[in-house]
Structure 1
Amino acid sequence: MTGSPDLPRRPFGRTGLQITPLTIGGGPLGSMPGNFGYEVPAERGVATAVAALTGPVNALDTSNSYSRGESERRVGEALRRIGGLPDGYVLSTKLDRDLDTGEFTGDRMRRSIEESLERLGLDRVPLLHLHDPEHIGFTESMAPGGPVEVLVRLRDEGIAGAIGVAGGPVDMLREFVATDAFDVVLTHNRWTLVDRSAGPLIDDAVARGVGVANAAVFGGGILASGAASTTRYAYKEAAPELLAAVREIERLCAACGVPLGAAAVQFSTRDPRIATTVVGVSRPERIAESVELATLPIPDQLWSDVDSVVARFAAGATR
C-alpha cells in the first residue's frame, strides 16, 4: 500500500476544533476480545496508538472503561514515546461509571477523569464525553451535582476543552442535545449503510451547532467483512431482514468493484452533517487502510441503489 493522502480538516461544531473526517477508535487497540473477538498484545496496541498520533488522521477516541483502562494506558505510553500530544490533535476520552459497582454519580465522574489523566499522562484533554448515560437515564444524569453538572464544571475548569455525550439510544441523546450543554454528540451503530435511525438526532445536533461524531459504521464487523463472516450486527444477532439487506448491498458493491468497507465508511464521511467518523483499529497498518477506504472513488449510482435496498428492508421490517 502506498502512503496515505492528506486528509482535510472540518470544523467540529462549536468546539473551535478542526478535525479530520476520520477519528481512530481506541477500543480495539486496548484489546476488547469480548466485543471484537480477538486479543491485541500490549506492544501492538502501543504501536497502533503511535501510528494514530503521528499519521494523517488528527483524532483518537478512547474511554476510561475500554479494557478497564488499558486503552488509555497504551495511548499514554504512545504519548510518552512521541513527546506529548501533537498541536491541534483532537484526543477524546470519556467519563465512565464504575464497572464493578455501577456507580454513576458526580463524584464518580471526578474519579473517572482523574484516572484517565493519570493513564494518559496529561493534565487536560481536548474533548471529554459523558459515556453511556443510558445506564442511569436522562433525568438522573442531569440532576444537581450529577454527571452532567460535573462534566460542565470540568470544561469550565479547563480540564476539558470541549464536552460531549456519547451513547446509544437516539431519543435519549436528542434530550441531551436539546439542553445546549454539550459541544459534541457521538452516536454509534445507528447511522450506517443499513441503520438510519440516528437521522433525527444528527439533524437536531446540526441545528444547534453541536458537532457530530459517528461511530461503529461497520456495525461490529459485518459491514466490513460481509454477512458470510458473521451474522451479528451491533454486537448481537442480526434480524433476517437486516442480513438480507447486507447481502444485497454486498452484491451491489461487488458489481461496481467497491469494497463493502469503503461504502460503509464513506456513507458516513460523505454526509456533510457529520464532522468525523470513528473507525476502530488494532494494527498500525489499519490506519492507512482506513484512509484508503475513506478516499476510494465510489460511483454516485451506488448510493441511490443502496438507499433503495434500505428502503425495502425498512418497509419489510415494519410490516
Structure 2
Amino acid sequence: MSESGQSRVELAHRELGSTGLSVTEVCIGTSPIANMAGLYGYEVGEERAIETVLAVFDSPFNFLDTSNGYGANGESEVRIGKAIARVGGLPDGFVLATKVDPDPATRDYSGARVRRSIEESLERLGLERFDLLQLHDPEQISFEEGTAAGGPLEALVALKEEGLVDNIGVAGGPVGLLQQYIDTGVFDVVLSHNRLTLLDRSAESLFASARERGMGVMNAAPYGGGMLAKGPEAQPKYAYGARDDRITEAAIAMRDACGRFGVPLAAAALQFSTRHPLVHSTVVGVSAPERVQQTLDYLAVAIPDELWAELADLTPSKDLWLD
C-alpha cells in the first residue's frame, strides 16, 4: 500500500503512437472534477477535486486529460493547478494533456482564440508548455472553418512549431469528422468518446486509420457516460443522451452475463477498451479519490474468455451505434 492507502498495481505502459510519450493504459479524465452538475447530476467541491488529483499523482497512473472548457472559467484546470502546486510541480514522468476550446461567451473558435485558450490553460495549471494539446469538439464548427486560414488548425500547427506543445491532437465525437481531421496529416493523436465500448464499435475504422498513420489513439468514456458503470437502471442514458431501448436491453443482458461470472460490468467495460488492439490509452473520468483505486481494482479483475465471447454476442447491431 502507498501512504494514501492505494494498492500498487502494475499497469501496462505504451508508446502513444509516434509521440515519444510513454503513457499508462488508462488516462484519468478530469471533466467530473469540474463541478458540472448539469452534466453529471452531482456537485464536486474544490477540496474533493484537489484530493482526487493528488490521489492520481500517488497512483500508478501517469496520464491526465483535461480541457480549457471543463467547468465554469476552466474549473478543472484551476483545481488541477492547485494540486500541482501542492506537490511542488508536475511529478516526473507524468503526462498532462489539455485541449483548446472556443470562447465560453462568444463561441469564437478562431486561431486567435486557440492562442488565448492555451495561454489560459498554462496560467491555470502553472506550466510552461504541454506534451499534448488537442483541438476539442471540432463538431462545434464546420470542417471548412476549422481548417481555414487563420483558423484553429493553423494555430495549433504554429504552436507546435513554436515549441509550446510537442504534439497536437484532435478530440471529439463524430467519427466521420474526426477522420477528415486526421486525413490532413498534421495530427499526432486522436481521441473519440463513447464510440468504442461494449455497446458500440463505430470508432474502430477511425482508430485503425489513425494507427496506420502512426498516431496515438485515446478511447474515452468506456462506460458510455455511466450506463456501463452505474448500471442501465441507474443511468438509462448512453453517451449523455436518450438512446434506443435496445441499447438498454443489451446493457442489462451484459450485466446479467457478467453477474454469472462474478465480474462487475464496469470491469468488463473498462477492460474491453484496455485490451483492444487499436487503443493506446483509455480515458476514464473520476470524481473522487476512491474512484482512482476502484479503477485499479477493475483492471485487476480476471475475466474469462467465455464471458468475452458472450459479451461479443450481445453487442447491439450496427444501426444502433453512434455516428
Please list every run of at least 4 consecutive aligned residues from structure 1 whose deviation after the TM superposition is greater than 4 angstroms. Answer: 315-318
Provide the residue aligned with 2:304 in structure 1: 299
Provide the residue aligned with 1:193 in structure 2: 198
User: Is the partner of 1:126 in helix, strand or coil?
Assistant: strand
Shift of 1:102: 1.1
CA distance in 2, matches of 1:89, 1:314: 39
Q: Flag structure 1 segments of 5+ consecutive residues without an equivalent.
A: none
Instruction: Work out whether 1:53 is the aligned partner of 2:54.
Output: no
Deviations 1:191-211 (A, max 9, x none): 111011111101101110110
1:289 to 288, 291, 294: 294
Whether the 8 Å CA contact 1:4–1:288 is kept in 2: the answer is no
TM-score by length of 2: 0.95
Instruction: Work out whether 1:228 is the aligned partner of 2:213.
Output: no
Shift of 1:139: 1.6
Deviations 1:259-282 (A, max 9, x none): 000011001000122110010011
Counterpart mapping for 1:214-293 below 5 A: 214-293=219-298
Provide the residue aligned with 2:111 in structure 1: 106
Q: Given residue 5 of structure 1, which amino acid in structure 2 is its aligned partner?
A: V
Deviations 1:87-109 (A, max 9, x none): 22110010000121111100000
2:90 to 62, 66, 85: 85
Provide the residue aligned with 1:62 in structure 2: 66
TM-aligned CA distance change 1:315 to 1:92, over 3 Å: closer
Shift of 1:30: 1.7
TM-aligned CA distance change 1:317 to 1:169, over 3 Å: closer
Q: Given residue 183 of structure 1, which amino acid in structure 2 is its aligned partner?
A: D
Using the aligned pairs only, state the percent identity: 49
Whether the 8 Å CA contact 1:21–1:276 is kept in 2: the answer is yes
1:170 to 166, 175, 178: 175
Whether the 8 Å CA contact 2:244–2:320 is kept in 1: the answer is no
Q: Given residue 207 of structure 1, which amino acid in structure 2 is its aligned partner?
A: E
Q: RMSD of aligned C-alpha atoms? A: 1.4
Shift of 1:316: 7.6
Q: Given residue 211 of structure 1, which amino acid in structure 2 is its aligned partner?
A: G
CA distance in 1, matches of 2:91, 2:178: 31
TM-score by length of 1: 0.96
CA distance in 2, matches of 1:190, 1:243: 16
Shift of 1:317: 4.8
CA distance in 1, matches of 2:191, 2:105: 25
User: Is the partner of 1:221 in helix, strand or coil?
Assistant: helix
CA distance in 2, matches of 1:63, 1:316: 31
